[in-house]
Amino acid sequence: MTAFNDGKARDPGGGPSDEERMAQHSLFQAVFDGSPGAAVLIRHKDGCLVRANQGWLALTGYSLEEVQGRTLVELGCWVDPQEGQDCWAQIGVHGRLKAREVRVWFKDHGRGPRRVRINASSLDGLRASDGRHVLLSMEDITAVRDTGGTSPSGVVAQNLANDRLAAQLDLYALTEELARVGHWSSDGKSVYFSPGLQKMSGAQTPAMLTVEEARRRIHPEDLQIYLEAREAMDGRVFEYRIMGPEGGVSWRRARIHRHCNSDGSFLDFGVILDVTAETEAALVLREQLAFIEKITSHVPLMLFLYERRGDGTEVFPFLSPGVRKLFGVEAEEARRDASLLFNRLHPEDRDGVRHSMDAAHFDGGIWSHEFRIIGEDGWERWLLGHAINRLEGDHLVAYGSVSDITDRKLAEQRLQDSEARFRSLTDLSSDWYWETDEQLRFIHFVGYQQNKILRSEAEILGKTRWEIGALNMSEEDWAVHRQVLESRQPFRDLELLRMGAHRQQYWVSISGAPIFDARQRFRGYRGIGRDISDRKRAEGETQRLAFYDTLTGLPNRRLLLDRLAQAQAACARTKRHGALFFLDLDNFKDLNDTLGHDVGDLLLKQVAQRLLSCLRESDTAARLGGDEFVVMLLELDEDENEAAAHAERVGEKILKRLNAPYELAGREHNSSPSIGLTVFSGGAQGVDELLKRADLAMYQAKAAGRNTLRFFDPQMQAAVLARAALDADMRQAVQNQELLLHYQPVVDAAGGVRGYEALLRWNHPRRGVLAPGSFIGLAEQSGLILPIGQWVLRAACHQLVTWSRGLDTQGLSLAVNVSARQFRQRDFVDQVLAVIDETGVNPQRLRLELTESLLISEVEDAIRKMAELRARGVRFSLDDFGTGYSSLNYLKRLPLDALKIDRSFVSDVLTDPNDAVIVRTILALAQSMGLQTVAEGVETEGQRDFLRDNGCTLFQGYLFGRPGLLGH
């Protein structure tokens, strides 16, 4: 019999410490005590037993205390040398032995040897101590051998084969490492740290610590939690912090169990999980949530995590506090009951939200939807939801946010309303809206189609205004417009003439203003356009009426003056000359009087056309009115003589062309003009002055016999100026009592004074007494003859009244000259009668002298007026008889009293037989008509005698007395 001994002495210095043994024992028991029938021990390589499980103790009859630290030999445990030959050697050398059956004698030798099947394996992987361990398992097969049967615990023995056990222990260690779990076990005094826990606690952590050492590692703030769990021993899971050797903190999640041994002892062990990463992540998450809560507390924003499970259950595992603001629901409540949020959805939007959530899977998992909710207060609010959806199995998980966009939606709505209003306005009006980008290319045209602008939108979009072009804009004009745009200035009423699709022209007016964004960056232009074709047409018509003669279409006086002013300015610039023609048609009045105004108008139109045919583009032909035309030539030579010669050639051409026969209403008509011409340069003379000069020259042409051309004559101008001055002075004459009457006696054949002729004089303040020949014509033209005639009539009547009071003079008559303009006044008769009544004169003493030419134009009217006055006793003489038509037809119808034989006949009556015949004829005529005759200008006795001998009754002339003041 061989002692069951490896034959080696125990090495007291290198043997396991108590703590080691305790730890190994704890592990051993934790792992193997649960295997009934298995007898297992661990032996140190030095032969000392370090651990034995309950099965082994039961098999051998030892107590744990007896076996620990002792070798099997010391325990008196023998193995039959026959059977156990080299058995131990194998165990000692290799730590491996496969199912050897040996007889063993244990403590209770009385029971005889036990037959056991023994297995051994190395326990290097256990690393529970610094030495090499051997695990021995023994199966009691005594009964089996004795009876020849099979061991009921054979299977267990197989399972607990040393190799497998070692593998399990290795696996366990590895699992701990990988899972970052570990465990400790403690008997209340010392604590064994498993390899996993050691690794978790730091590389230098020993396997065995005292309880105090182990507890010092627990964070002071968490010690209480730990102790409570340790005390309660109720299997609770709890967490606490461990302070690392280098000051860090790590988190542990633990569960503690107590194992009670059969001998009443116990073993506590805890399974430890390192949850540092998880806990720190949770802390970070908590901080982040706090941050989210903080930043969203003032913003209508909610973050959420949503899950829809396979059974349709919906939950919000996470909701940020913003849910309160948006939905009026507390986050906690909504987390418990998702329907609280879904119920808030606007009924019209519910399906849409659901649909968009489902559809999000097909959109890369992105959900984005605008929807309405009905808030707590009953008001609609607009929300915008964004989420990333993910399917996890049959779970739909969505992470996202919901924000309040009510303000934006309202603003959009207002904008839409505004745009709709704007669109309806542009639809109703002819205006359109346009917009360009930063490069000034059109990007919008609204209301454009309604307008009759016939370009298509496609033709315009993407182009600049100048690329589209306008008929009235030159390159320079566009450059000016572009300058305005480039300086970002607004512009108004840019008027463009464009060509439509059907080649009809139209006018548009464009106004615009630059667009700047919130950061004041230029974004383009926007504005309106308007079709102003109608306005332009109306303006053109107005302009035509204002500046053109409606009959001939030529420029009128206003436009002529304007062009003349421009021409003068141009001449001043270019140093060149211009010329101005004043044309008046000869005898035009006769045409009007004989053939009527319509025919006169025909002539004027044809004259206008002929004038234009004589001129260049730059020249102007204008009609001032009546038969007066003006022609303006421009760009003549710088040399005045050359310019005058050129103008004369044009004048001759006009003269010739206007002299050609006209066809007027089927009749041939001949007409000629009188043309005045003046040459000008610069602005030395005003436009009125230039016109006057041409006008004067035209009068010169008239005076020269008409149908001719005359240049302006400065002498004539002086006369005109004098005339103008005289006219101005004459206007003061009546008021300043500068008028007076001279009286020339009218005598009978015996030389007795029968009366006088009142002859007007003007005692001019500077020029002395003026005869009527120097001012009556002007007074006729200006109309001043009317007040002057009134004054003469009144003065003459007063004189007659004076005479009526003298015996010598009461039989005198007084002749007063009446001008044509005076007589043609509608109320002439009333005026005369009023003076008669006013002065109380005897009308029979008053003799009004009328000229033939005065009577001839409106005979009937003259007869009526004369008859009315004649009825009151007023007498009439026909002045200058013989110089006019002297038609007997009207002569016999006029209520005349006397004929005055013109001085021109009288003066030559003795020398010119024709005049003598005329005088005799007049005298015979007067006699036959019962009229008196007054011979004017009798200067010699011979003349008087001839006249008297031929029947003349009254005489007037220097022979009897010059006109003068009475009493002289």
Which residues are within 8 A (CB) of 234 and not within 5 positions of it... i.e. 6 or more apart?
Answer: none
Q: How far is the CB of 624 from ligand LFPHGCPZ (least distance, A)?
A: 30
Q: How far is the CB of 552 from ligand LFPHGCPZ (least distance, A)?
A: 38
**789-803 as b/e: b if 16+ CB within 10 A:** bbbbbbbbbbbbeeb
CA angle 434, 438, 439 (to 5 degrees): 90
- Determine, following the binding rule CB under 6 A, whether residue 965 of this chain makes contact with ligand LFPHGCPZ: no
**What H or E segment, with its residue span, contains residue 778?**
helix 776-782
Strand order in the sheet with 380-392: 314-319, 301-308, 395-404, 380-392, 366-374
Structure tokens belonging to residue 743: 């009286």
Q: Which CB atom, from 270 or from 957, has the smaller least distance to ligand LFPHGCPZ?
A: 957
Structure tokens belonging to residue 661: 């026969």
Q: Which CB atom, from 708 or from 883, has the smaller least distance to ligand LFPHGCPZ?
A: 883
Q: How far is the CB of 610 from ligand LFPHGCPZ (least distance, A)?
A: 41
The one segment of 214-222, 327-335, 702-710, 770-778 that binds ligand LFPHGCPZ by CB under 6 A: 770-778
Q: Which CB atom, from 13 or from 773, has the smaller least distance to ligand LFPHGCPZ?
A: 773
Of the candidates 856, 933, 940, which has an alpha carbon nearest to the alpha carbon of residue 901?
Answer: 933
Residue 218 DSSP symbol: B
CA distance 180 to 167: 19
CA distance 238 to 921: 165
CA distance 847 to 877: 7
Q: Which CB atom, from 238 or from 791, has the smaller least distance to ligand LFPHGCPZ?
A: 791
Near ligand LFPHGCPZ in 795-824, by CB under 6 A: 817, 819
- Determine, following the binding rule CB under 6 A, whether residue 349 of this chain makes contact with ligand LFPHGCPZ: no
The one segment of 271-279, 329-337, 492-500, 769-777 that binds ligand LFPHGCPZ by CB under 6 A: 769-777
Helix axes 941-949, 913-929, angle to 10 degrees: 50
The identity of residue 680, as a single letter, is F
Q: Is residue 835 classed as helix, strand or coil in its secondary structure?
A: helix
Q: Is residue 529 classed as helix, strand or coil in its secondary structure?
A: strand
In terms of residues, how long is the chain?
968
Among 77, 694, 776, 848, binds ligand LFPHGCPZ (CB under 6 A): 776
Q: Which CB atom, from 470 or from 796, has the smaller least distance to ligand LFPHGCPZ?
A: 796
Among 792, 832, 854, 866, binds ligand LFPHGCPZ (CB under 6 A): 792
β-pair type (2-3, 813-817): unpaired
- Determine, following the binding rule CB under 6 A, whether residue 957 of this chain makes contact with ligand LFPHGCPZ: yes
Confirm if 322 and 300 have CB atoms less than 8 A apart.
Answer: yes
Which residues are within 8 A (CB) of 216 and not within 5 positions of it... i.e. 6 or more apart?
Answer: none
Among 191, 658, 747, 759, binds ligand LFPHGCPZ (CB under 6 A): 759
How many residues belong to the site for ligand LFPHGCPZ (CB under 6 A)? 22
CA distance 960 to 380: 123
Q: Which CB atom, from 67 or from 776, has the smaller least distance to ligand LFPHGCPZ?
A: 776
Confirm if 137 and 156 have CB atoms less than 8 A apart.
Answer: no
- Determine, following the binding rule CB under 6 A, whether residue 964 of this chain makes contact with ligand LFPHGCPZ: no
Among 531, 695, 897, 936, binds ligand LFPHGCPZ (CB under 6 A): 936
Q: Which CB atom, from 549 or from 757, has the smaller least distance to ligand LFPHGCPZ?
A: 757
The one segment of 1-9, 31-39, 67-75, 952-960 that binds ligand LFPHGCPZ by CB under 6 A: 952-960
The one segment of 75-83, 439-447, 638-646, 932-940 that binds ligand LFPHGCPZ by CB under 6 A: 932-940
Assign 3-class secondary structure to 28-54: HHHHHCCCCCCEEEEEECCCEEEEECH
Among 880, 905, 909, 925, binds ligand LFPHGCPZ (CB under 6 A): 880
Q: Is residue 81 classed as helix, strand or coil in its secondary structure?
A: coil
Q: Which CB atom, from 555 or from 937, has the smaller least distance to ligand LFPHGCPZ?
A: 937
Q: Which CB atom, from 625 or from 777, has the smaller least distance to ligand LFPHGCPZ?
A: 777
The one segment of 147-155, 284-292, 772-780, 837-845 that binds ligand LFPHGCPZ by CB under 6 A: 772-780
Q: How far is the CB of 589 from ligand LFPHGCPZ (least distance, A)?
A: 23
The one segment of 64-72, 99-107, 615-623, 935-943 that binds ligand LFPHGCPZ by CB under 6 A: 935-943
Q: Which CB atom, from 92 or from 882, has the smaller least distance to ligand LFPHGCPZ?
A: 882
Confirm if 816 and 878 have CB atoms less than 8 A apart.
Answer: no
Which residues are within 8 A (CB) of 72 and not within 5 positions of it... i.e. 6 or more apart?
Answer: 3, 4, 5, 43, 47, 49
Q: How far is the CB of 925 from ligand LFPHGCPZ (least distance, A)?
A: 18
Q: Which CB atom, from 20 or from 936, has the smaller least distance to ligand LFPHGCPZ?
A: 936
Of the candidates 741, 744, 674, 749, which has an alpha carbon nearest to the alpha carbon of residue 711?
Answer: 674
The one segment of 215-223, 855-863, 881-889, 956-964 that binds ligand LFPHGCPZ by CB under 6 A: 956-964
Which residues are within 8 A (CB) of 545 and not within 5 positions of it... i.e. 6 or more apart?
Answer: none
Among 939, 940, 948, 951, binds ligand LFPHGCPZ (CB under 6 A): 939
Residue 189 DSSP symbol: S
Structure tokens belonging to residue 265: 């002892």
Q: Which CB atom, from 274 or from 729, has the smaller least distance to ligand LFPHGCPZ?
A: 729
Which residues are within 8 A (CB) of 747 and not within 5 positions of it... i.e. 6 or more apart?
Answer: 753, 754, 954, 955, 956, 960
Phi, psi of 243, deg, nearest 5 = -90, 125
CA distance 819 to 825: 10
Structure tokens belonging to residue 331: 């986050």
Q: How far is the CB of 826 from ligand LFPHGCPZ (least distance, A)?
A: 18
Near ligand LFPHGCPZ in 899-928, by CB under 6 A: 903
Q: How far is the CB of 751 from ligand LFPHGCPZ (least distance, A)?
A: 15
- Determine, following the binding rule CB under 6 A, whether residue 549 of this chain makes contact with ligand LFPHGCPZ: no
Q: Which CB atom, from 447 or from 963, has the smaller least distance to ligand LFPHGCPZ?
A: 963
Q: How far is the CB of 744 from ligand LFPHGCPZ (least distance, A)?
A: 6
CA distance 274 to 285: 18
Footprint of ligand LFPHGCPZ (CB under 6 A)? 744, 757, 759-760, 771-773, 776, 792, 817, 819, 879-880, 903, 936-939, 956-958, 963
